[in-house]
Structure 1
């Protein structure tokens, strides 16, 4: 890529295609799996995909979006602290920054951190989620190693009308949401939505009593203009604001003792909090010709993320990240009623800018930037709407590190008896982050411009069976991935000065496991269940022997263990009773998180390993329709008051109850 071309990036347009899915509760239509923007039936996709529609989010009374992702096979969720705290999603044993996230078609990861913090995303009214698992970099480039999460607010045509909701409950929590959407004439449809959640919170320090509160706001607007059946323009704007209290970590009298070492624990830190503000914007134009045989789209987007941290003495530190992303996409469709072909070419151009904000003068605060140009080719063919085959390839060119090429092939076949087999093989990449490339402090934390992208490749194979005329679906998928070229931080002492930098190590990590799921729609009863077994061995250095009695130094040694914060066993069960004859509904949600490992650190910041016990959380939600426009609802979370930890030394909430009212017009 040349500097001359890259200078045009802010003028280009780009984003993954936005496509309307038709029925708002249709969980069998997928958009993420193709760069064409076509809505594709899930049984014509070789990759594993889970769709949570607006009905599922409403029945489970989802307020913090990451909570409902616990119901997706292959997904592990960890929240550090209270609501608003850093929340990471790991898919199939990958890292949190190996999951690509789109919100209303916009690449939403923080350009500075190279990862999306799900703690900043509260759920909207009338939205849906797609989770596409497996290596998807051949479609979307960097970050899509574990998979892609797409969160979409429905358009005015998909879900017209007005809704408003308000609720209150435990921990001084108040949550509100509203949505106004509709169609104007024959050419416009619009959707405006907003959500706000404020809470006084609860203590996260095991020996503390400071409640960690937060305020979260999300505002979204989506406008579609369709002046002719062949031409459409979409505009999206979204604003996100989160302010959340934080606690520091240190060694004190409350510190747990691990292998004889008192270790760092969470402690009350009055006056400490962070603030995250982000703006997302998108414009996309699409032209269809020759009865949709050829579709051309040009689109552009902006992500502007600002994060600041404060201590009792005032402003502490911050960072700024901005992304300009653009795409040109062209799709050719040809064939007949039996054999349907689709060929898509796409070009993605992206510029990421980032800088530190440091009032102490400790860190480098100049602006850095990374430019990337990606070329995509994708071909899909379906035969008799039963056999589906696909292949995609991508090349990403970059100024700072080696160009990356990725590919993926998929296949699916649906037998007449309702049995479906599917398989996929693909590769993925994760580009180095800003701090890994450029460092933080000259002469102390040094960037490494010679870093190469992290890489992954893997395959999956599964079978799905439909029974009772499609009312019951059972499925199981085996997956296997290999992850190498991992980036890690290493340090050394030079002349008494500690220096650290990032390198690509030689360790190869392998993840494999089984995802199973069940979906049933039996009259007034809805059942959704999943279970995932994951084996994700990781080799790391840690202290394995008890602390020497004389306090002498003990060297860490290599240890092979299950990767941290990735339990071997995760399960979810949702049972909804929604009879048409009476105005009530109820949903029972059971989420099990198996035993997992996490890090602990002694006073010398040496690493130890700890086990966090398995836990099961039970939620119960219910609604009552007073009239066609007025509904009251309530729920109890953590019904049996389970005591658990998702992250070592961070306490979690006990039993909580909430209730409210919703108006629909």
Structure 2
């Protein structure tokens, strides 16, 4: 089997970074230019820095400490059971994984890496399974309609992934792991920051590699092959920034992950994949209450597909993005005005009738506190070269009626542009498609107490003009804006410390229904579980730590007719760690302890009991 030349190149870069990370004589490097500490604020819900208790939207934040404590096998495993999230995976590590946020479609969630939109313009989804957790510093999940700030796709919400930043003047890191299914992992990084009275800078370089034999992904009859379906991923992140003076700062970043995936159940059974993000920002703050940000970037979702080693197809999506945003403090409020530009291009051996389009978006937002009440009002106009214009808006309100309790309410609209496959795929696409649209209302209650915190959110979302197969089109049918859905749900999140145990949990009750005038009306939308949740419990004993997680989901259906049922399941994971030195630690985890057999997509297997042993070097940041 031939290997793409780019794979050998990036392996050499990984080795170079691993060597560099072991050299302790490297001079202290540059400092973080970020004006705010991301450990204390949320930026995705407003496109501005707000502390978590100020944020009006329903938000889940996962930081680096939690990632290392939970020891998940992948990014999808980390998201499993979180409030509002259902996942469907096609057979284990590296296989196609769909994320359904608040019951909306898998392409109704906007995914960003460091502020840059990722995903495929042909299929519509983002390949979260190809984002290695060793490259992730923090994840913000904002639930609800946010097209009024971001444009297309944010019907269910936004997931923003922040890559790793330095935590000290010199911050090396190294980890190595082995596990079941002949899993091997290696990561290395260096980074740092320095500061003086006039200028500050920072840099970070992180590389990671993982390889696993995997499991037999598929047990159906289409291209059935009972062998194990392996996965390999090699990634590199390089970034840095500099604050020139109190008014000006800039940063640049590049992330690339290259994968080799084996799979079954499709017309192909192997793929070379690339996820790439390159971007930079310049910020100008002429005063304490005025800031302007210019951002430019590109992202790529590249895939070459093979059948038994023979080349079959190419589907490459490339995006170019630009953004100009101004934040102006006026009185007791904050006015944000911005302009976004996005160009999509598709390169494929499949001949699309059109292979590029441009979207321009103009948006504004007002945030203000009125005593114990808060307001967030936003509106946006998008102009798409394919279907024309779309206007969206949202209003969020919060009332701190006691020192510990906040009541919130919101209304919002959102839209999703059709994909290039839906528009132009030969013999199938419909160029007359318009965007899918939604209207949502939400009511929430949040508590912050000495003993812990909790929140409950209830929502109702109606989606119109959903794209579905229309048999009346052409000779063989095709996609059309003919469907509707109504999704109602309740999310509960809580955290506390009890007898020195750190306890966190989330539960979601969902009713995602087909609301169209068709034979499937009132059926449950496919691959969404009506009940899901997780509980995490962790405790430290000086240098030792132990923990457990329990996650589960109710039954779901794999098709629109609700005739293919997948049973509910519950999983238990165990973990332990030992910091035997200030800088060195060893961790061990066992996932699916009871070897539960279950499905999230019909006929696709899930891993049974697995284990992972990790050695980690990470000096205390200074």
Q: TM-score, normalised by structure 2?
A: 0.89
Which segments of structure 1 move beyond 4 Å, counting only runs of 4 or more?
18-21, 157-160, 539-542
Conservation of the 8 A alpha-carbon contact between 2:527 and 2:557: yes
Mapping of residues 7-406 of structure 1, within 5 Å: 21-22=36-37, 24=39, 26=40, 29-35=41-47, 37-38=48-49, 40-124=50-134, 127-156=137-166, 161-186=171-196, 187-206=200-219, 209-248=226-265, 272-290=269-287, 292-312=288-308, 314-335=310-331, 340-357=332-349, 363-364=350-351, 368-384=355-371, 386-406=372-392
1:107 positional shift: 0.7
Aligned partner of residue 636 in structure 1, secondary structure: strand
1:346-367 Cα offsets, whole Å, 9 max, x none, are: 001111111322xxxxx41576
- Report how far residue 23 of structure 1 moved: 6.3
Contact 2:514 2:520 in 1 (8 A): no
Paired with 1:222 and 1:284, the residues of 2 have a C-alpha distance of 12
Q: Relative to structure 1, is the Cα distance of residues 367 and 196 closer, same or farther in structure 2, using a 3 angstrom cutoff?
A: farther
- Contact 1:44 1:412 (C-alpha < 8 Å) held by counterparts: no
Aligned equivalent of 1:550: none
Cα distance between partner residues in 2 of 1:313 and 1:212: 14
Partner of 1:588: 548
Q: Secondary structure at the match of 1:644?
A: coil
What SS is found at the alignment partner of 2:80?
helix
Partner residue of 1:460? 442
Could you tell me how far apart the structure 1 residues matched to 2:459 and 2:520 are? 27
Separation in 1 of the partners of 2:289 and 2:178?
51
Change (3 A) 1:656 1:540: farther
CA distance in 2, matches of 1:102, 1:139: 13
Change (3 A) 1:159 1:51: farther
Deviations 1:31-58 (A, max 9, x none): 10112x32x1222222111111111111
> In the alignment, is the contact (CA less than 8 A) between 1:20 and 1:155 conserved in 2?
no
Q: What is the deviation of 1:481?
A: 0.4
Distance verdict in 2 for CA 1:387–1:172, change over 3 Å: same
CA distance in structure 2 between the aligned counterparts of 1:522 and 1:345, rounded to whole angstroms: 45
Flag the structure with larger Rg: 1
Q: Report what 2:454 is aligned to.
A: 474
Give distance in 2, aligned partners of 1:228 and 1:648: 57
Alignment of 1:418-437 (within 5 A): 418-437=404-423
Unaligned regions of 5+ residues in structure 1, if any? 1-17, 250-268, 358-362, 543-556, 601-606
In the alignment, the residues of structure 2 paired with residue 164 and residue 116 of structure 1 have an alpha-carbon distance, to the nearest angstrom, of 28
Q: Which residue of 2 aligns with 1:490?
A: 470
Kindly tell me: are residues 275 and 313 of structure 1, through their superposed partners in 2, closer, same or farther at Cα, counting changes over 3 Å?
closer
**Cα pair 1:455 1:483 within 8 Å, conserved:** yes
SS at match of 1:57: helix
Deviation at 1:159, TM superposition (A): 9.0
Q: CA deviation at 1:313?
A: 5.7
User: How far apart are the structure 2 equivalents of 1:152 and 1:625?
Assistant: 26
**What residue in structure 2 maps to residue 265 of structure 1?**
none
Superimposed CA distance per residue, residues 330-389 of structure 1 (whole angstroms, 9 cap, x where no aligned partner): 110133xxxx310010001111111322xxxxx4157611111100000000245x4221
CA distance in 1, matches of 2:46, 2:297: 19
1:410 equivalent in alignment to 2:396: yes
Other structure's SS at 1:248 match? coil
Q: 1:225 to 1:157 in 2, by over 3 A?
A: farther
Residue from 566, 575, 585 that aligns with 1:612: 566
Deviation at 1:170, TM superposition (A): 0.4
- SS of the counterpart of 1:84? coil
What's 1:533 paired with? 509
Q: Deviation per CA, 1:79-134, whole angstroms, max 9, x where unpaired? A: 11121111111111100100000112211122332220212112025611100000
Q: Tell me the distance in 2 between the aligned counterparts of 1:449 and 1:160.
A: 54
Partner residue, 1:260: none
Query: CA distance change for structure 1 residues 641 and 523 in 2, over 3 Å: closer, same or farther?
Result: same
Number of aligned residue pairs: give it. 580
Describe the SS at the equivalent of 1:560.
coil
In 1, are the aligned partners of 2:173 and 2:189 still within 8 Å (CA)? yes
TM-score (norm 1): 0.83
Partner of 2:540: 578
- 1:217 to 1:42, Cα distance in 2 relative to 1, 3 A: same
Does the CA contact (< 8 Å) of 1:87 and 1:117 recur in 2?
yes
RMSD (Å) for aligned C-alpha atoms: 2.2
Offset at residue 234 of structure 1 (A): 1.1
- The separation in 2 between residues aligned to 1:158 and 1:517, in whole angstroms, is 32
